[in-house]
Amino acid sequence: MTRDEVLARLEGVKSPEGTPLPRTGKLSDVVVGDGKVFFSITVDAADVKAWEPVRQRAEEAVRAIPGVNSALVALTAERKAGAPSAPSVQAAPARAAPRGESLQGVPGVEAIIAVASGKGGVGKSTTAVNLALGLSALGLKVGILDADIYGPSLPKLLAIRERPQMLGGTRLKPITRYGLTVMSIGFLIDEETPMIWRGPMVISALTQMLREVEWGTLDVMVVDMPPGTGDAQLTMAQQVPLKGAVIVSTPQDLALIDARRGIAMFRRVNVPVLGVVENMSYFLCPQCGTRSDIFAHGGARREAERLGVPFLGEVPLHMTIREKSDAGLPVVATEPDGPHAAAYRDIAAKVRDQLVGAATGRAAPKIVIEAQSRHLTARRQD
C-alpha cells in the first residue's frame, strides 16, 4: 500500500462543498508505513463541525484499503491570519481561554499530570513509567499516555508490540500492562519512520489520544511529554487539562537550566509544578556498592528550593534501572521489594498527596491579581 493509493482512495471522499479531498488543498502530507496511515486535514475553525463527517469518512475509506491496519486522520482547526498564533483544534476551546475550568477534561479521568523535562535523555520516560506504577502500587487506578511524539518510548519500556484494537470503528482500546492502561503514538506510527510533525498535527494527534481512546475510569493519567520547552510543548501544556507537572532533571548545571525553563513554561500556563525529581542523582557501583556523585548530586533539590517548588526525591544511576527499563520490565513492577521501587513509590506518594491536597483545597492558595481603581493588587484566593 502506497501514499498514491491512499490519495487515489481519498478522491472518493468529498469536502462539504463536494470537492474530492486531495484537491481541497487542506490535506497534510500523507504518512504511510508498515500498515499505518496518518494525515491531517486543516480547516477554518468555524468549519470544524461540517468537516468532522469528512474526517470520519476519510478514516473509513483509508481503513478499507487492503494492507492498512490502522488509520489516524486528524482534523485541525486553523485560526485566521491575525489571530493569536497558538494552533487550536476541534475538541479544544478555539478561543485563547484562560486555562483550567474552560479546558475540557477527559470523561472518567480524575487527574491528568505531565512528566516533563527540559531536555531529552534525562530519564523522563523511565520516571513516568515507574511513577505511574508507583501510583498504582498505592492503590490508584492509573493510565499512562505517551505524548512524546518525537520519540515514543512506551512500546519499548513496557514491551508492547501489539496494536490497539478499534472499538466500534471510531474509538481505540488502550493496551493494559502491569495494571496500567497504556496508549502511545508509537502503537500507531512506525518507530523507524521519522515523522515530520507540524504544530497543528501534534495537537490534533494528542487530542485524539486523549479523547478518542477508551480510557475508562482512572484516578490519575500520567502523560509522558515530549522533551523541551518549545512551542509544541507549550501548546501541549495549554491544550491538556493538566492538574500538575512533574519535572525530571539530572543534577548537572546544564540539565538544571533546562529544568528551570520547564518550570517556567508550566507556570506561564498556570499548571502547578508538583515538584522536581533528581534522576541519575548518584552512582551506585553494582560491584562494590560504593556511591559516587558523578553529576554533582543534590543540584535538583537546591534548584527546587530556590524556585519554591517541592522536591520529590532522587533516583540513583543504576544498571538495574537501565537494563530493566530498556527490556520492558520496569523496576517498580518487576522488583517491587528492591530499593529503586521504594524510591519511586516515595515519589509517587508525594505526588498523590499533592493531588489530594489540590482536591481538598489544601494546596497553595491561588494568587489573584486584579486592578482596583488605578492600582494592581494581588490577593489570596482561598
Ligand X SMILES: Nc1ncnc2c1ncn2[C@@H]1O[C@H](COP(=O)(O)OP(=O)(O)O)[C@@H](O)[C@H]1O
- Name which position in 24, 28, 70, 125 contacts Mg ion (CB under 5 A): 125
Asked if 338 and 286 touch (Cβ cutoff 8 Å), the reply is: no
Give which of ligand X, Mg ion, none residue 221 binds (C-beta under 5 to 8 Å, depending on kind): none
Our finding on whether 279 is near ligand X (CB under 6 A) is: yes
- Give the span between the Cα atoms of 93 and 214, in whole angstroms: 21
CB of 113 to ligand X, least distance (A): 16
CA-closest candidate to residue 248, choices 371, 119, 334: 119
Q: Which of ligand X, Mg ion, none does residue 238 bind to, with CB < 5 to 8 Å depending on kind? A: none
The residue (of 24 and 279) whose beta carbon lies closer to ligand X is 279
By CB under 6 A, is residue 318 in contact with ligand X? yes
Other Cβ atoms closer than 10 A to 348: 27
Q: What is the 3-state secondary structure (H, E, C) of 208-258?
A: HHHHCECCCCEEEEEEECCCCCCHHHHHHHHHCCCCEEEEEECCCHHHHHH
214: closest CA among 171, 179, 177?
171
**DSSP result, 144-187:** EEE--TTS--HHHHTT--SPPEEETTTEEEPEEETTEEEEEGGG
Residue 123 near which of Mg ion, ligand X, none (CB within 5-8 Å, type-dependent): ligand X
Alpha helices by DSSP H, 83-161: 124-137, 154-157
Residues from 217 through 246 that contact ligand X (CB under 6 A): 227
Distance CA 303, CA 297 (A): 12
The torsion angle over the Cα atoms of residues 7, 13, 18 and 24, rounded to 10 degrees, is -30
Judged by CB under 5 A, the stretch of 34-42, 121-129, 182-190, 345-353 that binds Mg ion is 121-129
Is residue 330 involved in binding ligand X (CB under 6 A)? no
Binder to ligand X among 161, 268, 322, 366 (CB under 6 A)?
322
Q: For ligand X, which residue of 153, 233, 235, 354 counts as binding (CB under 6 A)?
A: 153
Contacts of 61-65 spanning 24+ positions with Cβ under 8 A: 61/9, 61/10, 61/12, 61/13, 62/6, 62/9, 62/10, 62/37, 64/9, 65/1, 65/5, 65/6, 65/9, 65/37
Does the protein bind ligand X through residue 250 (CB under 6 A)? no
160 counts as binding ligand X under rule CB under 6 A: no
> Counting contacts by CB under 6 A, is residue 321 touching ligand X?
yes
Residue 336 contact partner, candidates ligand X, Mg ion, none, CB within 5 to 8 A by sort of partner: none
Quick one: what does residue 244 bind among ligand X, Mg ion, none, with the CB cut-off 5 to 8 Å set by partner type? none
In terms of C-beta density within 10 A (0-12 exposed, 13-18 middle, 19 or more buried), how is residue 52 classed?
A: middle
- Quick one: 87 or 262, whose CB is closer to ligand X? 262
Residue 25 DSSP symbol: S
* Stretch of 16-24, 124-132, 170-178, 263-271 lying at the interface with ligand X (CB under 6 A): 124-132
Give me the least distance between CB of 124 and ligand X, in Å please: 3
Q: Which stretch binds ligand X (CB under 6 A): 11-19, 123-131, 213-221, 331-339?
A: 123-131
The grid cell for 4 is 498514491
Under rule CB under 5 A, which residues in 178-197 are in contact with Mg ion? none
In which residue are the cell numbers 523541551 written? Answer: 228
Q: Which of 121, 179, 194, 365 binds ligand X (CB under 6 A)?
A: 121
Q: Which stretch binds ligand X (CB under 6 A): 46-54, 186-194, 310-318, 367-375?
A: 310-318
Residue in the shown chain whose Cβ atom is closest to ligand X: 123
Position among 317, 331, 347, 351 found at the interface with ligand X (CB under 6 A): 317
Cβ neighbour number for residue 196 with a 10 Å cutoff: 8
Give yes or no for residue 153 binding Mg ion (CB under 5 A): yes
**Beta carbons of 221 and 113 less than 8 angstroms apart:** yes
Residues that bind ligand X (CB under 6 A): 117, 120-126, 153, 227, 279-280, 315, 317-318, 321-322, 325-326
Q: Which residues bind Mg ion (CB under 5 A)?
A: 125, 153
